[in-house]
Structure 1
Amino acid sequence: MNIIGLGLREFWQRLRAPPDALMLEIGVGGELLVAKLRAGLSLALLLLPLVNIATGEYTPSEGIAGMFGVILAVAASQALLVLAHQQRRFRWLPWLTTSYDVSLTTFVLALLAPGSLAASLNSMVVWAFYLIAICMTALRNDGRLTLYTGALAILQYAALAAVVFALARAPEQLASADYGTARVSTVLQRLLLIGVMTAITATVVYRMQRLVELSGTDGLTGLPNRTLLVHHFPGVLDGARENGGSLTLGLVNLDYFRRINDEAGPAIGDHALRHAVGVLRESLEGGDLLVRLGGEEFALLMPLPAGRAWERLETMRRDLATRPFVPGQDASPLRLTFSAGLASWPQDGADLSQLMRRADLRLSQAKLEGRNRVVAR
């Protein structure tokens, strides 16, 4: 029971937590995909009123409400698609679009009320778009958005039902030959279905977050890996451009680390590597991103100009050199040092690959000059 409780607590905490950089980058692509789906679905919905009109199976109020809702959906979906195509990442856009999806569904259901109160609650074709809106939040990889969408759909549909039942002066007004009878029990069942769909979608989001986390995290050190750096960098670069900030990338390589693996064994080498990462982490500040590229090589992304970034890495170098790794009680301490090369945006490159190349050249220079040093120019 305790294991189940801990699992549910982790599930709930992860869903409510803001997504990390990698999830946000993936969510941007998901928002564009949702915008394309919304635009396609809106155009496809034009066929529904036309089919009803062609077959004669419609009421005037229902036909007008349907056409008005579809025209509004098409116009809005095209505007949202334009926003999703922008290079700039609007953090508020997923919240706006999902609110629009749910609210448009409620609005179209409300338009059906003058023709038939039962239709406004029992029109499954329109009501199903609550479930579609919830389902599409899985593409944004943000559990908070899924929970918000489900709660908004429940609140709006419950409020609509309360208004409809209040407007009905006689039971006959809640009955319809086409849509059946609107009942409180039926409304409660549909609210439960919305809740179930929210729970299922939230579980999908949680699972996707775990898979992305595993793909973007180094198993030995717990640091982000190259995949996360590649996805994280464009957003950091956009922020630096918009705010007039600075950005410096450092490549860090532990000196002669392979000797530890060869002489003391891979297990001791792993412990030494984690010791080095622990020392480096202590000097990190807000906005810094330390990434393990592979082996004994790391990248450090800092929102600083070259001079201050050099000072930060120089402090890390001295700290590591003065805090040797002790393999065991009777073992001799192992002194660890690193060499590093720095490259700054925009002086040394306009993108990640250019900065990596320039930083790697300076890292090579640091090694040629005797190692255990940081080279910025």
Structure 2
Amino acid sequence: MDQNRNIGGTFRTVLSRPDEIMLAAGASGELLAARLRVALAACLFLLPVTNALTGGLPGESVIGFGGAAFVNIFALLWLRLARRPRHYRWLPFATAAFDVTATTVVLALLGAQYLPAALNSMVVWCCYVLAILMTALRSDGRITVFAGALALVQYGMLIAMVFLTASADQLLSPEYGAVTPGSQIQRLILLALTTALTATIVYRMQRLVQMSGIDGLTGLPNRTWLLHRMPWLLEAAHEQGRSLSLALIDLDHFKAINTDLGHRVGDRVLCHVAAVLQDALNESEWLVRLGGEELVLVMPLPVGAAWERMEVLRQRAAAHPFHPGTPRGEPIRITVSVGVAASPHDGHDTSQLLGRADRRLKHAKRGGRNRVVARDE
């Protein structure tokens, strides 16, 4: 039962939309895949040349040259689009579909010239495997499953068409051997196994990246997550004409807590404050542990509304003291100081916003702590 549940959970994870870190990795992976496709497409010209030099059928060489030219043209187009991945979110699915469909088209053209070549051309058929394996570079299991399913459907339809239209004599060839149902079923199984293996690799990559984006102490997203997530949020806010605010939160007198009560209690205090704040957030707000006792709250609000929001959260933190849980342990009142910065007024990227918020946080500290500063003083 537990094993089935784990398998089901893994399958749902593979088919779910990746988080922003994985999408960012997938965007760079799509560019890498596009560059690799250009290199492989150029190498495709070697296949018809080799076929012609080794006495292959002239028609196959012509189809090979035509197919290589077609793939090269589109490979250059995909490379150009891949340089702006955030503007073409559909691109990974389109390129995966192209890689698979181009293989099917070449096999169909070979079959029109010489029927056994449609199903027994191992060199061209291996392009299905390459197309599926290349989806691992996108770090998105949905693309892998999509490409694998498309290859199975298209190649399965090709098999059905050949066996429905060809006689037994037409399926025998001295160059390609006999085309048999058993061998074609084996190829379909290999495509399915390749898809499953590639999806497993993607899942493993997702888990490793996910672990790198989560703070081990608080369970909050960490600096890595923030640095990958913020560019997407800033771009979306800019396109929609909205503001995006970032609040840098620092626990007051946290070093004294660590010194007087020990680091274990300090860790519990940090987790307590993170939980108090997290429980009050809505779905459009993200709380991140930046490092040490510093937290960051990202809000889709202009600076004035963000200041009001942080005032409410600051008061909430002060109203929920930390209880050490020991017989003589008195509740500890925890307060926070906050610096707020907003895009586009205070900056257009994560570094600029963090720098402005940090300066305002220092103003809050110098002003007596337990306060929110949203403008330069």
The answer to whether the superposition gives a TM-score over 0.5 is: yes
Answer yes or no: is 1:356 the counterpart of 2:329: no
Q: Counterpart in 2 of 1:41?
A: 40
Does residue 208 in structure 1 map to residue 208 in structure 2?
no
What is the CA–CA distance in structure 2 between the aligned matches of 1:90 and 1:333, rounded to whole Å?
53
Q: 2:31 — aligned with what?
A: 32
Matches within 5 A, 1:1-377: 2-55=1-54, 57-86=55-84, 88-168=86-166, 170-328=167-325, 330=327, 331-377=329-375
Write the distance in 2 (CA, Å) between the matches of 1:118 and 1:224: 55
- Answer yes or no: is the 8 Å Cα contact 1:28–1:89 preserved in 2: no
**Alignment-mate amino acid for residue 94 of structure 2:** L
3-state SS of 1:180 partner: coil
Paired with 1:101 and 1:52, the residues of 2 have a C-alpha distance of: 22
1:265-297: CA deviation from partner (whole Å, max 9, x where unpaired): 222222221111111112322332221111110
3-state secondary structure, aligned to 1:113: helix
What is the CA-CA distance between 1:262 and the residue it aligns to? 2.2
User: Deviation digits for residues 121-146 of structure 1, max 9, x if unmatched?
Assistant: 11111110111111111111111111
Shift of 1:163: 0.7
TM-score where L is the length of structure 2: 0.96
Residues 160-189 of structure 1, C-alpha deviation per residue, up to 9 Å, x if partnerless? 100111111x20111111111111111110
SS at match of 1:251: strand
Q: Distance in 2 between matches of 1:87 and 1:165?
A: 42
Count the aligned residue pairs. Answer: 374
Q: Which runs of 5+ in 2 are unaligned?
A: none
Distance in 2 between the 1:287 and 1:208 partners? 27
Checking the alignment, whether the CA contact within 8 Å between 1:340 and 1:362 is kept in structure 2 is yes
Find the aligned partners of 2:14 and 2:180 in 1 and give their Cα distance: 34
Task: Note the alpha carbon deviations across 1:17-46, whole angstroms, 9 max, x for none.
Answer: 210010001110000000001111111111
The DSSP-based 3-state class of the residue aligned with 1:344 is strand
Q: Distance in 1 between matches of 2:193 and 2:239?
A: 41
SS at match of 1:181: coil
SS of the equivalent of 2:282 reads: coil
C-alpha RMSD over aligned residues: 1.4
Q: Deviations over 1:182-202 (max 9, x none)?
A: 111111101110111111111
Query: Where in structure 1 are there 5+ consecutive unaligned residues?
Result: none
Kept in 2, the 8 Å contact 1:34–1:139? The answer is yes
Measure the CA separation in 1 of the matches of 2:97 and 2:288.
36
Query: Could you tell me how far 1:329 is from its partner in structure 2?
Result: 6.0
2:51–2:57 CA contact under 8 A, matched in 1: no
Which AA in structure 2 matches 1:277? A
Structure 1 position 5, deviation (Å): 3.0
Note if contact 2:245-2:301 (Cα within 8 Å) is conserved in structure 1. yes
**TM-score, normalization: structure 1?**
0.96
